[in-house]
Amino acid sequence: MGDPVPELRARAERCAEALREAESVLLASHIDADGLTSAGVAAQALSRAGIDFEATFAKQLDSEVIEAIAASEYGTVLFTDFGSGQLDLIAEHERAGAFTPVICDHHQPAEAETECHLNPLLEGINGASELSGAGASYVLARAMGNGHDNRDLAALAVVGAVGDMQASDGELHGANAGIVEEAVEAGVIDAGTDLALYGTQTRPLPKLLEYTGDLGIPGISNDAAGAIRFLDGLDLDLKGEEGWRCWVDLDGGERRQVVSALLRHAISRGVPSEKIETLVGTTYTLSAEEAGTELRDASEFSTLLNATARYDRADVGLAVCLGDRDGALSAARKLLREHRRNLSSGVRLVEETGVTHEEHLQWFDAGTKIPDTIVGIVAGMAMGSGGISYGKPIVAFASKSEEETKVSTRGTHGLVRRGLDLSAAVGEAAREVEGDGGGHDVAAGATIPTGREREFIEHLDRIISEQLR
């Protein structure tokens, strides 16, 4: 099979050639799940091509980070899952002869040019929903060659896309679908229709159903006793010797009975049809990973990775991506437990304090109560609960330092279809208050001066109003 994204083939070849000509490469990547899988794909492609490299990670690629990279000894720098939005700053250092950049990204590019720039947006492919950073890295890896077709790396590309919320409407589309097809042919991914809930590999059944707050199923969602009553009412043996079984432990017949009962219950309790439809969707299973572990399911794998980098342990996440199933995986699981506790307490805080509603958005200021590295995830998880609406984008503030505030925003694909583009809106509003930002149409972030949050909200509400009009 040929390249999964033929539109990017020429760009990928130029980038691959630049990397082959380098004596050594600095691999710089973002720290979220997509960034870590991007680095994992790129690192293995470089290693297989016999290219020496060192990996480094950053929460945000700003002028200070780029200057530090320019001061390093590396003549070639491969940026994955960021770099396009900072192309103007990178180009200045390229012109000064500091390093040769190779950019493999999917975010909105700045108005500047460089020879080696692989980005789906440059070829009319949506970088927010059709190809992630890890997918772009995979396209580059396929072009690297050197005796390897690198199709086994498609599994990490799928994890990255899922972690980047590109399957939030039920399955991966566009160029991502081409990568899934290659992953299935390579035997590293099984794509099938199943219960589309988070935790099918690791959560006991009552917890799997209880934590469906976004679906809002009365008597089950956010109701531990109710979830147990529902399961006890089924004519199935759902307990093992050590307690409740997990979804992965059920056979096909048992799964069908649970899904049918769950659908009937949801319909009888008046759950909207558009939410009921999301109960079942396409799932992506990593064939080589052990069943019942976080690494077996693409969604759980991506959450595990998020838990490493957001607590300054990107090295652990990368090691897991590179195959370490001993010390690194144990450390990642410990970080995941902490991550879950922090997310849970963060969501409770937002539910208790509530949000402020503007005409076209809703927002909250977490200050120092929620780490700036996870406030965006918390905001997305909180949507649909309490007085927090799915009908408006949500904006979250968190203190980054005494001088800077982190802004994280989340929307929905329904709002995007109506015209919402958070990347453009957040970027423009941030610049109005002497900050900077960007991202995707459905999720974006920024850094703004502390004390100008209210002004930022006013600009953003106006911009979103114009977009949705």
- DSSP H helical ranges for 410-452: 413-417, 422-432
247: CB partners within 8 A, 6+ apart: 195, 197, 199, 200, 201, 203, 205, 208, 255
369: CB partners within 8 A, 6+ apart: 346, 349
As a whole number of angstroms, the distance between CA 464 and CA 469 comes to 8
Q: What is the pLDDT of residue 367?
A: 95
Interval 8-18 mean pLDDT? 96
Amino acid at position 362, single letter: Q
As a whole number of angstroms, the distance between CA 71 and CA 361 comes to 42
Pick from 61-70, 109-118, 149-158, 160-169: least confident: 160-169
Q: Which CATH fold topology does 354-468 show?
A: Diaminopimelate Epimerase; Chain A, domain 1 (3.10.310)
Which letter does DSSP use for residue 246 in this model? B
Looking at the chain, the number of H-run helices and the number of E-run strands are 18, 15
Report the share of the chain in percent with pLDDT over 90.
Answer: 82
Q: How confident is the model at residue 293 (pLDDT cuts 50, 70, 90)?
A: very high
CATH numeric code, 6-183:
3.90.1640.30
As a whole number of angstroms, the distance between CA 341 and CA 426 comes to 29
Q: What is the pLDDT of residue 1?
A: 43
As a whole number of angstroms, the distance between CA 307 and CA 343 comes to 10
- DSSP letters for 327-381: HHHHHHHHHHHHHHHHHHHHHHHHHHH--EE-SS-EEEE-TTSS-TTTHHHHHHH
Instruction: Tell me which H or E stretch contains 101.
Output: strand 100-104
Lay out the sheet containing 52-58: strands in order across.
Answer: 52-58, 24-30, 76-80, 100-104, 117-118
> How far is CA 434 from its chain centroid?
27
Alpha carbon separation from 184 to 4, 39, 151, 257, 348 (Å, rounded): 12, 22, 10, 28, 39
Residue owning tokens 């997990």: 246
Q: How confident is the model at residue 390 (pLDDT cuts 50, 70, 90)?
A: confident
25 within 8 A of 78, measured Cβ to Cβ: yes
In the chain, where the domains are located: 6-183, 195-343, 354-468
Is 321's pLDDT higher than 50? yes
* Mean confidence (pLDDT) of the chain: 93
Q: How confident is the model at residue 386 (pLDDT cuts 50, 70, 90)?
A: low
Q: What is the pLDDT of residues 428-439, one digit of tens each?
A: 999 999 998 888
Pick from 115-129, 222-236, 383-397: least confident: 383-397
Nearest Cα neighbor of 306 from 28, 29, 32, 30 is 32
Interval 284-308 mean pLDDT? 96
Q: What is the pLDDT of residues 68-122, one digit of tens each?
A: 999 999 999 999 999 999 999 999 999 999 999 999 999 989 989 999 999 999 9
Residue owning tokens 């370490």: 324
Q: What is the pLDDT of residues 253-277, one digit of tens each?
A: 999 999 999 999 999 999 988 889 8
Lay out the sheet containing 356-357: strands in order across.
Answer: 356-357, 362-365, 394-399, 404-410, 443-449, 436-439
Instruction: Tell me which H or E stretch contains 446.
Output: strand 443-449
As a whole number of angstroms, the distance between CA 414 and CA 396 comes to 20
As a whole number of angstroms, the distance between CA 62 and CA 83 comes to 10
Q: What is the pLDDT of residues 196-206, one digit of tens each?
A: 999 999 999 99
Helix (H, G, I), strand (E, B) or coil at 34: helix
Q: What is the maximal distance between C-alpha atoms in the chain?
A: 72
Cβ neighbour number for residue 214 with a 10 Å cutoff: 17
192 within 8 A of 170, measured Cβ to Cβ: no
CA gyration radius, the chain: 22
Q: What is the pLDDT of residues 393-415, one digit of tens each?
A: 999 999 989 999 999 999 987 89
Interval 184-195 mean pLDDT? 96
Interval 272-284 mean pLDDT? 90
Sign of the four-CA dihedral 246, 252, 254, 256 = positive
**Torsion from C-alpha of 186, 166, 175, 463, nearest 10 degrees:** -170
As a whole number of angstroms, the distance between CA 90 and CA 88 comes to 6
Q: What is the pLDDT of residue 222?
A: 82
Amino acid at position 73, single letter: E
**Which residues, in sequence order, are bridge partners of residue 78?**
27, 102
Q: Which stretches does DSSP call E strand in 167-248?
A: 189-195, 239-240, 243-244
